[in-house]
């Protein structure tokens, strides 16, 4: 069985990262921005796993970092969804441009 080359994994991770960055900076919907942040974190996870597999195949540091990032991402999503729900209840929209009350 052949392994996937490291360059293919890094290209996939780069594409996910830049899609996430583009989605974060180009959208004004909070849900879309949250999904873009998740894409960025998933690309980082792919990098950790890939470099761990190719550089140190018998050690698990990359896997532990990935599990930590997944845990932090889950906490971040739950807090973000709670904030989005509260903003929707107050302003009846989740558009960033309409929520100017919390700027100051």
| CATH code: domain of residue 83 | 1.10.287.3510
Residue 99 lies in a domain: no
The tokens describing 71, both together, are: 């845990």
Per cent of the chain over pLDDT 90 is 38
SS3 category, 99: coil
Residue 12 lies in a domain: yes
Rounded to a whole number, what is the distance in angstroms from the first to the last CA of the chain? 58
Residue 54 lies in a domain: yes
What does the alpha-carbon distance between residue 80 and residue 21 come to, in Å, rounded to a whole number?
Answer: 18
Residue 29 belongs to what domain range?
A: 6-91
Tally of structural domains, the chain: 1
* Backbone CA torsion sign across 5, 8, 12, 15: positive
Mean pLDDT value across the chain: 87
- pLDDT tens, residue by residue, 50-66: 998 888 888 888 888 88
Residue 100 lies in a domain: no
Checking if the pLDDT of 23 tops 80, the result is: yes
pLDDT category at 104 given cuts 50, 70, 90 is low
């Amino acid at each position: 069985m052949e392994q996937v080359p490291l360059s293919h994994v890094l290209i996939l991770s780069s594409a996910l990262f830049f899609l996430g960055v583009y989605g974060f900076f180009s959208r004004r919907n909070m849900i879309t921005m949250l999904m873009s942040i998740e894409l960025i974190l998933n690309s980082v996870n792919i990098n950790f796993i890939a470099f761990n597999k190719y550089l140190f195949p018998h050690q698990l540091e990359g896997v532990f970092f990935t599990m930590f990032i997944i845990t932090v991402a889950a906490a971040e999503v739950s807090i973000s969804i709670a904030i989005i729900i509260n903003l929707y209840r107050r302003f009846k929209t989740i558009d960033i441009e309409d929520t100017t009350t919390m700027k100051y």
